Chain A
Amino acid sequence: MIPTDVPLIDPARSPIPAATIAARTPTQLAVGRLRRDRVAIASLVVIALMVILALVAPLIASWAGHPVHRQYRDTGLTEFGLPVGPRAEFWLGTDQLGRDLLVRLAYGARISLLVGAVSTVAAVGVGTTIGLAAGFFGGWTDRILSWLIDTTLSLPFLLFAISLVSLVGPGLGITVVVIVLFSWCPIARVVRGQVLTLRDREFVEAARSLGAGPMRIMVVDILPNLVAPLVVYGTLLVPQAVVFEATLSFLGLGVIPPTATWGAMLADGAQLYRVAWWMVVFPAAAVLALTLAFNLLGDAVRDAFDPRRVEAQPK
């Protein structure tokens, strides 16, 4: 029963001005929730600091007066040829060749963030395309693509990655390719699942009845609905990419020396940790801070887009 005696409110004469009850999109709501989340803000600050560190790396080098590849054999090494610890001239100490660790750490942030950003964008692109195709077309397309996803997920990917590196030779490009090759699968899987529930909804039917082709339906009608899961999984993919690059560099199969990367710095540190703890501790802290920040941010973004998850849990 619809109550008929309730006076209808004429928006023009409403006591609340229309401007204060402006409609907010789910994305705006999510951003609002994210801004009140202290953990998310702290993670964003850490990430922002890392980005700044990467951007100002040349400035740090010139301010410290230590170019990234310059070896300070007199001041940066002890008389026995060992690296020196943190001191006024070298804030974070030096490495086995007498290079400034702080400057190298800043340059390493460039590689890590670059690899993290580029491979995440590429993996999200590939994963979305394959997931969309599998979920939307169904049938044999879905069967073959799903099989491809499952198979790739079950491959011993680090072994596969190093075998690819052995063919092409190490480098920044192949590192990104390898990361993308093995990280699109979870995205594709999530997108496929979402598309399966979306493709039979009324708005898709409406678009089809208006004469929209499959391409248009996928891109214009379905894709905007996938933004939330893509942002969440994309954020969680960045730390994985950063760790993968660092792992390859650590094994000596990533970016070629003398380019400064955190993984390669840790590999050097692994040789000398008994005499130079700073060579392990600082790069390790950098990797950890970045991955932890992205993981926390990813969790916060997921909670912001899906508040039921948080509220459902007893406090």
Chain B
Amino acid sequence: MARFVLGRVLSGLLTLFVISLVMFILFYVAPNDPARTIAGPQATFAVVEQIQERLGLDQPLPERFGRFLGDVVRGDLGYSYYNQRPVLDTILGRLPVTASIAAGSAVLWLAVGIPVGITSARRPGSLRDRLGTVFVLVGLSFPTFVVGLLLLYVLFFRLTLIGVEIFPAGGYIPLTENPLEWARHLLLPCITIAFVTAATYARLTRAQMLEVFGEDYIRTARAKGLSERRVVYKHGLRSAITPLFTQFGLDLALLLGGLVVTEQIFGLPGIGRLAVESVIRGDQPIIIGTVLFASAFVVTANVLVDLGYALLDARVRIT
């Protein structure tokens, strides 16, 4: 087990190292001069050179990468070109928004996707199963921004027109300020992401449950007279649910993409919106920062998922 943990952590670190290297090459080695970006198009060569010197851009490349990596490891992601604030502080300031939506939608999609999958698997081919299949297909085909826009139109605009003001148009209220408003403002963004993602889980749960239902021990459980509920939820779900962990780890990368779009639609000041704003402003330290921050999050989460998986299923540890 110790070897497995060590191997997994090392490979996670290697991944992060390679991502940092790629970002460094893309942003500092490729034909792209940060000093020119900071100085602006009208600056003289002397000014650009001065900035290059201050940023250490005149040093040899390996040395610069070493310094870049050292800074990143210490959590120093540099300063924004746009407002000169530390990048890490800016990202951490936006984190509560993104974390709120991510957590809320994850709870929602698991709470919808898994039961839909179980219901479908219990009677394959039934009306419920077909409805489940339609749900999956629609969910998989709806792009996040289309769902977001339609929800905004129907649940906010149409409902507000007829006097039902449950859903706000967007914006974010901190939890500490007003918990009720916080939840109310998160509803639509969370439904948006959950709608798109729940489909994957419904499909996966259905497939897993169908496979498990064919196992001998399920027949045994039924034969010894256990109630159907006990068979499905205790014996069946328990072994069907482990692969969902792996899927969850993989989906984090996807979730971050959905967050970028959702934050944009609902005007939520999260990390995704920060990234889009920075791209439009050409604020490179923030762009690099968000990518590295998000990668570190995804890689760490995947290592944790794998470790949790190994705890649940002894067979994984061997490979």
The residues of A with any CB-CB pair to B shorter than 8 Å are: 147, 151, 153-160, 162-167, 239, 243, 246-247, 250-253, 263, 266, 269-270, 273-274, 277, 280, 284, 287-288, 291-292, 295-296, 299, 313-315
* 14 extra interface residue pairs, beta carbon distance < 8 Å, beyond A159-B260, A247-B145, A270-B149: A153-B250, A154-B252, A156-B253, A156-B295, A158-B256, A159-B272, A166-B279, A166-B282, A246-B145, A250-B264, A274-B157, A288-B142, A291-B143, A299-B137
| Given A156-B295, A270-B149, A270-B265: A239 touches B282 (CB 8 Å cut-off) | no
Q: Say yes or no: A280 contacts B149, CB within 8 Å.
A: yes
Partner of B153, one of A251, A280, A296: A280
**Cβ < 8 Å to A, chain B residues 123-166:** 124-125, 137-138, 140-146, 149-150, 152-153, 157
Question: Inside 8 A of B152's CB, which chain A residues have their CB?
Answer: 270, 273
Q: Say yes or no: B143 contacts A159, CB within 8 Å.
A: no
Partner of B261, one of A154, A163, A247: A247
Q: Does B21 contact A (CB under 8 A)?
A: no
Q: Say yes or no: B295 contacts A251, CB within 8 Å.
A: no
Q: Say yes or no: A288 contacts B141, CB within 8 Å.
A: yes
Partner of A284, one of B146, B257, B284, B302: B146
Partner of B260, one of A158, A263, A295, A299: A158
Docked CA distance A162–B283 (Å): 12
Q: Say yes or no: B276 contacts A266, CB within 8 Å.
A: no
Docked CA distance A263–B253 (Å): 22
Docked CA distance A147–B279 (Å): 29
Q: Could you pull out 23 A-B pairs where Cβ atoms are within 8 angstroms?
A: A147-B11, A153-B253, A154-B250, A154-B298, A155-B253, A156-B291, A156-B294, A159-B256, A159-B257, A159-B290, A162-B276, A163-B287, A166-B284, A167-B27, A253-B279, A266-B145, A266-B149, A270-B265, A280-B149, A284-B149, A291-B141, A291-B143, A292-B138
Q: Say yes or no: A167 contacts B261, CB within 8 Å.
A: no
Q: Say yes or no: A287 contacts B261, CB within 8 Å.
A: no
Closest residue of chain B to A263, judged by CB?
B145
Docked CA distance A163–B290 (Å): 9
Q: Which 5 A-B pairs have the closest CB atoms?
A: A158-B257, A166-B279, A156-B294, A156-B256, A292-B141
Q: Does B288 contact A (CB under 8 A)?
A: yes
Partner of A167, one of B26, B157, B294: B26
Partner of B276, one of A155, A243, A253: A253
Question: Inside 8 A of B23's CB, which chain A residues have their CB?
Answer: 163
Nearest-neighbour CB distance to chain B for A280, whole angstroms, equals 5
Q: Does B299 contact A (CB under 8 A)?
A: yes
Number of CB contacts from chain A to chain B under 8 A: 128
Question: Inside 8 A of A157's CB, which chain B residues have their CB?
Answer: 253, 257
> Which bracket fits the contact residues of B?
35 or more
Q: Does B35 contact A (CB under 8 A)?
A: no
Q: Say yes or no: B291 contacts A247, CB within 8 Å.
A: no
Docked CA distance A287–B146 (Å): 9
Q: Does B280 contact A (CB under 8 A)?
A: yes
Docked CA distance A299–B136 (Å): 12
Contact digits for B14-29, partner A, Cβ 8 Å, 1 yes 0 no: 0100110001001100
Docked CA distance A291–B272 (Å): 25
Question: Inside 8 A of A154's CB, which chain B residues have their CB?
Answer: 15, 249-250, 252-253, 298-299, 302
Closest residue of chain A to B152, judged by CB?
A273
Docked CA distance A155–B149 (Å): 26
Question: Inside 8 A of A159's CB, which chain B residues have their CB?
Answer: 256-257, 260, 272, 275, 290-291, 294
Q: Say yes or no: A156 contacts B143, CB within 8 Å.
A: no
Docked CA distance A160–B18 (Å): 14
| Given A167-B30, A280-B150: A155 touches B298 (CB 8 Å cut-off) | yes
Q: Say yes or no: A314 contacts B125, CB within 8 Å.
A: yes
Contact digits for B296-317, partner A, Cβ 8 Å, 1 yes 0 no: 0111001000000000000000
Q: Say yes or no: A292 contacts B15, CB within 8 Å.
A: no
Q: Say yes or no: A151 contacts B280, CB within 8 Å.
A: no
Nearest-neighbour CB distance to chain A for B207, whole angstroms, equals 11
Docked CA distance A273–B150 (Å): 9
Docked CA distance A292–B272 (Å): 27
Closest residue of chain A to B258, judged by CB?
A158
Nearest-neighbour CB distance to chain B for A239, whole angstroms, equals 7
Closest residue of chain B to A296, judged by CB?
B137
Q: Say yes or no: B291 contacts A273, CB within 8 Å.
A: no
Q: Say yes or no: B282 contacts A269, CB within 8 Å.
A: no
Q: Does B83 contact A (CB under 8 A)?
A: no
Q: Does B32 contact A (CB under 8 A)?
A: yes
Closest residue of chain A to B265, judged by CB?
A270
Q: Which of A154, A269, A273 counts the most chain B CB atoms within 10 A?
A: A154
Partner of B143, one of A147, A166, A287: A287
Q: Which of A251, A277, A295 counts the most chain B CB atoms within 10 A?
A: A251
Question: Inside 8 A of B288's CB, which chain A residues have their CB?
Answer: 163
Nearest-neighbour CB distance to chain A for B312, whole angstroms, equals 20
Nearest-neighbour CB distance to chain B for A62, whole angstroms, equals 30
Question: Inside 8 A of B250's CB, which chain A residues have their CB?
Answer: 153-154
Nearest-neighbour CB distance to chain B for A146, whole angstroms, equals 11
Q: Say yes or no: A155 contacts B260, CB within 8 Å.
A: no
Closest residue of chain A to B23, judged by CB?
A163
Nearest-neighbour CB distance to chain A for B113, whole angstroms, equals 17
Partner of A251, one of B19, B141, B276: B276
Question: Inside 8 A of A167's CB, which chain B residues have their CB?
Answer: 26-27, 30, 32
Docked CA distance A208–B257 (Å): 46
Q: Say yes or no: A155 contacts B19, CB within 8 Å.
A: yes
